[in-house]
Structure 1
Amino acid sequence: MFIYQRELKKNVKSLIIWSIILSGLILMTLSVYPQFTKDQQMLNDLLSAYPDSFKEAFGMNRLDIGTLLGFYGMQIHFMTTLLGSIYTVMLASNIIVKEENEKTIEFLLSKPISRFRVIGEKLLAVFTNVLLLNTVIVATSFIGFQFADEQVSLNTFNIIIISTLLLHMTFGAVAFLLSAVMKKSRTVTAVSLGIVFISYLFSVISGISEELEVLKYVSLFKYVDAADLITENAIQPLYIVIMLAIILLGSLLTFVVYQKKDIA
């Protein structure tokens, strides 16, 4: 498992930096919740100032931001899903192709290890980092909840966290496959980030326009929409199946592609 251990050590700095950034944002946002809910009239005035299309796009018309989970869903969930996805694709998109770009692949494959093992340990390293980041998100969220004198539904919160983890792993599997298919680190990272941002854009557009609502089926962010998760207290089974299928297919295709890849 020396490849797995090497990848964990090489990526620990970026994991710490992203964990600190997300933790800071979560704690800072949750710290203002008590003051935010003190003046209900001010809260109502603030919400009424937003255009209806804006409220529909971000689920504000279905979330009660006067409750802790509603506030979490609107203010924090989009940060953990978007920023976490960016971290994941930056990690996964570079983890394979960097060996060719840095000219270390010859040394790596000269060892008595198979390509299958190389991919397996690198994939495990990606998912381990994603799991660790999500663990930080959970721990920091529980710390932030202490700012408010209010209990949250653990069942609903677990659904939010599981959906966030599934989203990160789905983007990670796609970026991991691209890292095996493409040959330039910058190109792979740019394409992977483009997929994340386009997916997020489709999510917003599908919430604004009924005519473009069909875009929600090609936007992974819509699969983990906070308003749906909290109001329905569940993840749509179809969305779970799609994300798991992408994770499985992306991982399997990476093994297949890398076995046949002509490494210069």
Structure 2
Amino acid sequence: MATPPATGPLVTRHTLADEVRTLGVRPGEILLVHTSLSSLGWVCGGAVAVVQGLLDALGPAGTLVVPTQSGDLSDPATWGNPPVPSEWWPTIRATMPPYDPLVTPSRGVGVIPETVRTWPGALRSAHPLTSFAAIGARAGTVTRGHAPDCRLGERSPLARLEALHARVLLLGAGYDTCTAFHLAEYRIPSPLVESGRPGPDGWESVTEVSITSDRFDELGHDFERDRPVVRATVGAADARLFPVADAVAYAERWLATHRPRDDDFPDPRTHPAPSERRDDPRS
């Protein structure tokens, strides 16, 4: 059977840069990008060309930020995609390599974030499960100080992005991928959860705010209905552009109303997880 011909549109580094500029991406800004490479069309140069195009649009004073999560550095007892036999769990816990921002690959976020992670000069934050990688003028400011017991809260790059007036670009990705919404979970009453992971001194247990992307699609639909979101097409992909701060503020109100919660959940703003505190994210 013959291989079907490639389907377009044909996307290049230069067409992508032009189209995200038309969308409203400005030179010098900080951009948190969630991507789906396959949604763009036929990209000449693949993920490398997409990263180049985004950097072209941002210019030398801009900063590109992506999630580089590594959720496989977690307790095998919680794995479901796929699960592993319970008799393996002790060996996995004893031998799993700890997080190393230079070598631990990202998982489940696509090829473009992994390309950013390995880009010359890229910096990566310190959380073993929910790190971010950044390239550009403010990369150090964004990634510095990511507390190991604060996945996506006040001591994470998300809070820094909010304070620095960064914007989110969804490039072929849906609102279910919008990590900015998670910062809102740290600002409403939320349960705490204890989890295990490999550490530099062996297996460790950490208590953090419980987070989930459940109903983020609904949240995004309402956010787009009620708040200014710039929409356009980049290649074949639907693209959306909006401020991090707008997304967080809207999600804080929406989640408090639409997600059922137990009244006994501690408020993380007044009962933080161990060693978590609300530092000034601009420092």
Higher percent of residues as helix: 1
Higher percent of residues as strand: 2
Q: Same fold (TM over 0.5)?
A: no
The structure with more radius of gyration: 1
TM-score by length of 2: 0.27
- Of structures 1 and 2, the one with the larger relative CO (CA 8 A, separation 6+) is 1
